[in-house]
Amino acid sequence: MNHTEHDHDLIAGYASGHEADRVQAEALLASCPDCAVDYREQLSVKGVLGTLPAARLTEAEAAALTQVVMSQMPAPMMGSVVDIGTARAQKPLSPIWGRMTAVAALLAGVVLVGTVITSGGGGSTAATTGALESQLAERSTDALTATTAANAATTAAASEAAGAATTFASDTAGDADSIDAVAAEAERMMFQLNNEDSSQTTAAATTLAYSDACPELAELEILASADASLNDRPVVILIVESDSGPLAQAFYTDDCTEIDLTPND
Q: Does 53 participate in binding another protein (rule CB under 8 A)? A: yes
First to last CA, the chain: 64
Which of positions 66-95 make contact with another protein (CB under 8 A)? 66, 68-70, 72-73, 75-80, 82, 86-87, 90
**Count of residues touching another protein (by CB under 8 A):** 59
- Enumerate the β-bridge partners of residue 227: 236
Helix (H) or strand (E) holding 62: helix 59-72
Out of 94, 134, 211, 257, point to the residue binding another protein (CB under 8 A): 257
Q: Does 2 participate in binding another protein (rule CB under 8 A)? A: no
The interface region with another protein, picked from 12-20, 149-157, 159-167, 200-208 by CB under 8 A, is 12-20
Out of 138, 142, 171, 243, point to the residue binding another protein (CB under 8 A): 243
DSSP state of 146: B
Name the residue nearer to another protein (CB basis): 75 or 126: 75
N residues, the chain: 265
Which of 218, 229, 225 lies closest to 239, judged by CA?
A: 225
Q: Where are the alpha helices (DSSP H) in 73-173?
A: 84-89, 95-120, 125-139, 158-163
Which of 126, 110, 116 lies closest to 188, judged by CA?
A: 110
Out of 1, 18, 27, 197, point to the residue binding another protein (CB under 8 A): 18
- Under the rule (CB under 8 A), what is the footprint of another protein? 5, 8-13, 15-18, 38, 40-62, 65-66, 68-70, 72-73, 75-80, 82, 86-87, 90, 242-245, 247, 257-258
